[in-house]
């Protein structure tokens, strides 16, 4: 967490320009602890030789399948993707995915799969026939629970989605749809090379509801070229008319030195840091006025949504795909760059398509780096999860886990958190430490105070902003 030495004079405890300026700097997103950028080559240092061995001791499983292909390049994109028009490449990639699935067959036995997530890239790049081939191939290996009892979610690009594919996805059991909307402003869309009219999104939303998707989510992005508080407000108002169950409002980090695609964005069109904050506040105001409940990080849901209900009841959990209701105790990630975990730790596949394909052909697995969890990692993993999901820490529970009083074990961390206490973002009493209403926006900051790797070196430049 960036050091902060004084509170805003006015509005302390309220989400304000001052608060965002002080606390919303770069910080890990904590989809895992330790974060994936700490992973080491397999069999080197603190990396497990065969991390998947602990899969057998698990009781439930999540599956993530990475489809890296996209038809055209969105200039803001920092995802692991392959831009192609050649479908042959895609078809052979599915063959490799299924080979990788088979490699896990004897390692997972009959573990029930309670979540399946297709992410990308663009999962809806696949033809309906290949979507069927993929899911039926997975069902040959894994114990996929009957549709309706599990979360089957898919990320979709509205530019490559049609009502027929939605029907196919529903037939295959998918019940959650996430669409990358980003922004409805034509000038912004041109600047990021992602033109998609509102009517298509509206029609697809209607079609998804008609065929029974239980939850529809939109991704929005602020901080893009040509955006302002006014354009952001206008986009959010249009989105609200379509009433998606969930909304993710992501910050765009412009890092052209790191991501080649972003060099295609005119830097003169980029909003200033101050403008980003005002557009963010405008979006939050609109979402709040429309009744969306803040879940945590950059996620919102209508009060009827089961994630919103789970958040109110303290049942929300978090995994690599974000907030969830059904945390499995192990995850298998299939495909280029996919991450897996079990009770012992994490392992990740090669990022580059070529490396992934070669490794699968050679030995059935493309895992190349990972992390073995120490006892201290497990304690902090639990603590980070509690802060990100429940927004509070139970001191006696942590004292039991840590084998000593919370205040003593985490004295250094509490010192790092002092600015958040001073500004009314955090409070504590004898039983617990908790984020206040305003502090809930800054759960990442609070979690980062407990990240022993982050504080072992002065390097926070690799992470995205908090808000
Ligand atoms: S934003 Fe999505 S569709 Fe666009 S290039 Fe990136 S992964 Fe592909």
347-400 pLDDT, tens digit per residue, is 999 999 999 999 999 999 999 999 989 999 999 999 999 999 999 999 999 999
- DSSP three-state, residue 227: coil
> In a mutational test of the pocket of ligand 1, which residue from 180, 183, 252 has the highest number of ligand atoms less than 8 Å from its CB?
180
The residues pairing with 393 across neighbouring beta strands, listed in sequence order, are 433
What is the tens place of the pLDDT at every residue in 186-206? 999 999 999 999 999 999 999
The answer to whether residues 371 and 34 touch, using CB atoms and an 8 Å cutoff, is: yes
Instruction: Enumerate the H helices of 71-122 as residue ranges.
Output: 87-103, 105-108
Report strand pairing: 331-334 vs 176-182.
Answer: unpaired
Ligand 1, atom 6, lies closest to the CA of 77
458 C-alpha to ligand 1 centroid (Å): 32
For 88-114, what is the mean pLDDT?
A: 93
What is the tens place of the pLDDT at every residue in 28-46? 888 899 999 999 988 766 6
Measured from the Cα of 120, ligand 1's closest atom is: 7
CA distance 75 to 182: 12
Q: Is 73 in the pocket of ligand 1 (CB under 6 A)?
A: yes
Sign of CA dihedral 40, 43, 48, 52: positive
Q: Give the containing element (helix H, strand E) for 222.
A: strand 215-222
Say whether pLDDT at 113 is over 70: yes
For 221-246, what is the mean pLDDT?
A: 97
Predicted local distance difference test score (pLDDT) of residue 9: 34
The answer to whether residues 147 and 92 touch, using CB atoms and an 8 Å cutoff, is: no
- DSSP three-state, residue 105: helix
366 vs 326, which has greater pLDDT? 366
Ligand 1, atom 2, lies closest to the CA of 121
**How sure is the predictor about 277, in pLDDT bands with cuts at 50, 70 and 90?**
confident
Q: Shortest CA distance to 332 belongs to which of 116, 169, 136, 46?
A: 116
**How sure is the predictor about 12, in pLDDT bands with cuts at 50, 70 and 90?**
very low
User: In angstroms, what CA-CA distances link 190 with 122, 230, 276?
Assistant: 20, 18, 19
Predicted local distance difference test score (pLDDT) of residue 2: 34
User: In angstroms, what CA-CA distances link 392 with 20, 157, 387?
Assistant: 21, 35, 5
302 C-alpha to ligand 1 centroid (Å): 26
Per-position b or e across 380-399, b if 16+ CB within 10 A of its CB: bbebbbbbbbbbbbbbeebb
**How sure is the predictor about 47, in pLDDT bands with cuts at 50, 70 and 90?**
low
The answer to whether residues 158 and 208 touch, using CB atoms and an 8 Å cutoff, is: no
CATH number, domain 1-37+374-457: 1.10.10.920
Predicted local distance difference test score (pLDDT) of residue 464: 58
Q: Shortest CA distance to 142 belongs to which of 319, 326, 328?
A: 328
Measured from the Cα of 180, ligand 1's closest atom is: 2
> In a mutational test of the pocket of ligand 1, which residue from 66, 69, 71, 77 has the highest number of ligand atoms less than 8 Å from its CB?
77
Number of other CB atoms surrounding residue 317 within 10 Å: 15
Ligand 1, atom 1, lies closest to the CA of 77
Q: Is 302 in the pocket of ligand 1 (CB under 6 A)?
A: no
For 11-40, what is the mean pLDDT?
A: 77
Predicted local distance difference test score (pLDDT) of residue 297: 83
Measured from the Cα of 261, ligand 1's closest atom is: 5
The residues pairing with 319 across neighbouring beta strands, listed in sequence order, are 322
C-alpha gyration radius of the chain: 22
Tally: H helices and E strands in the chain: 17, 21
Characterise 339 by phi-psi region: left (phi > 0), alpha (psi -120 to 50), beta (else): beta
Length of the chain in residues, anyone? 467
Say whether pLDDT at 239 is over 60: yes
> In a mutational test of the pocket of ligand 1, which residue from 78, 80, 157 has the highest number of ligand atoms less than 8 Å from its CB?
157
Cis ω before 393 (30° cut-off from 0): no
Q: What residue has token string 């008319």?
A: 241
Say whether pLDDT at 461 is over 60: no
149 vs 10, which has greater pLDDT? 149
Q: Is 81 in the pocket of ligand 1 (CB under 6 A)?
A: yes
Characterise 421 by phi-psi region: left (phi > 0), alpha (psi -120 to 50), beta (else): alpha
The answer to whether residues 132 and 94 touch, using CB atoms and an 8 Å cutoff, is: no
For 307-331, what is the mean pLDDT?
A: 86
Mean pLDDT (the chain) is 90
Predicted local distance difference test score (pLDDT) of residue 217: 97
Predicted local distance difference test score (pLDDT) of residue 7: 39
What single-letter DSSP state applies at residue 462?
T
The answer to whether residues 337 and 351 touch, using CB atoms and an 8 Å cutoff, is: yes
CA distance 185 to 239: 12
68 C-alpha to ligand 1 centroid (Å): 9
What single-letter DSSP state applies at residue 146?
P
Predicted local distance difference test score (pLDDT) of residue 273: 87
Q: Is 392 in the pocket of ligand 1 (CB under 6 A)?
A: no
Q: Is 157 in the pocket of ligand 1 (CB under 6 A)?
A: yes
CA distance 254 to 225: 10
Predicted local distance difference test score (pLDDT) of residue 438: 87
Say whether pLDDT at 457 is over 60: no
CATH number, domain 38-331: 3.80.30.20
**How sure is the predictor about 3, in pLDDT bands with cuts at 50, 70 and 90?**
very low
CA distance 421 to 411: 14
**How sure is the predictor about 20, in pLDDT bands with cuts at 50, 70 and 90?**
confident
What are the extents of the domains in the chain?
Answer: 1-37+374-457, 38-331
> In a mutational test of the pocket of ligand 1, which residue from 68, 75, 79 has the highest number of ligand atoms less than 8 Å from its CB?
79
- DSSP three-state, residue 259: coil
């Amino acid at each position: 967490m960036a050091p902060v030495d004084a509170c805003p004079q006015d509005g302390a405890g309220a989400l304000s320009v001052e608060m965002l300026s002080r606390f919303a700097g770069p910080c890990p997103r904590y989809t895992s602890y330790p974060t994936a950028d700490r992973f080491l080559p397999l069999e080197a240092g603190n990396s497990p030789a065969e991390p998947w061995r602990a899969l057998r001791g698990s009781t439930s499983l999540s599956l993530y399948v990475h489809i890296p292909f996209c038809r055209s390049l969105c200039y803001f994109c920092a995802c692991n993707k392959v831009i192609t028009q050649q479908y042959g490449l895609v078809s052979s990639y599915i063959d490799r995915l299924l080979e990788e699935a088979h490699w896990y067959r004897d390692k997972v036995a009959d573990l029930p799969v309670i979540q399946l997530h297709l992410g990308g890239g663009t999962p809806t790049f696949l033809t309906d026939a290949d979507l069927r081939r993929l899911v039926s191939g997975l069902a040959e290996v894994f114990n996929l629970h009957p549709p309706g009892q599990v979360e089957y979610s898919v990320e979709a690009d509205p530019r490559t989605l049609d009502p027929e594919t939605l029907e196919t996805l529903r037939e295959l059991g998918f019940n959650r749809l996430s669409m990358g909307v980003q922004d409805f402003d034509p000038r912004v869309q041109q600047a990021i090379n992602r033109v998609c009219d509102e009517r298509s999104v509206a029609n697809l939303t209607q079609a998804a509801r008609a065929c029974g998707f239980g939850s529809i989510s939109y991704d929005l992005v602020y901080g893009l070229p040509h955006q302002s508080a006014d354009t952001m407000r206008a986009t959010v108002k249009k989105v609200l008319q379509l009433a998606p169950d969930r909304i993710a409002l992501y910050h765009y980090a412009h890092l052209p030195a790191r991501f080649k695609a972003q060099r295609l964005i005119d830097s003169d069109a980029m909003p200033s840091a101050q403008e980003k904050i005002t557009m963010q506040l405008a979006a939050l105001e609109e979402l709040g006025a429309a009744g969306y409940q803040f879940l945590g990080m950059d996620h919102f849901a209508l009060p009827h949504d089961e994630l919103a209900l789970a958040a109110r009841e303290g049942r929300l959990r978090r995994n690599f795909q974000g907030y969830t209701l059904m945390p499995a105790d192990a995850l298998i990630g299939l495909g280029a760059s996919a991450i897996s975990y079990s009770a012992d730790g994490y392992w990740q596949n090669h990022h580059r398509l070529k490396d992934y394909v070669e490794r699968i052909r050679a030995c059935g697995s493309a895992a190349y780096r990972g992390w073995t969890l120490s006892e201290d990692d497990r304690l902090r993993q639990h603590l980070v999860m509690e802060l990100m999901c429940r927004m509070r820490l139970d001191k006696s529970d942590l004292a039991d886990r840590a084998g000593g009083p919370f205040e003593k074990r985490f004295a250094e961390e509490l010192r790092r958190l002092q600015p958040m206490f001073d500004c009314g973002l955090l409070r504590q009493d004898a039983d617990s430490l908790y984020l206040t209403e305003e502090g809930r926006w800054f759960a990442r900051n609070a979690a980062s105070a407990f990240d022993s790797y982050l504080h072992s070196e002065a390097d926070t430049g690799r992470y995205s902003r908090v808000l």
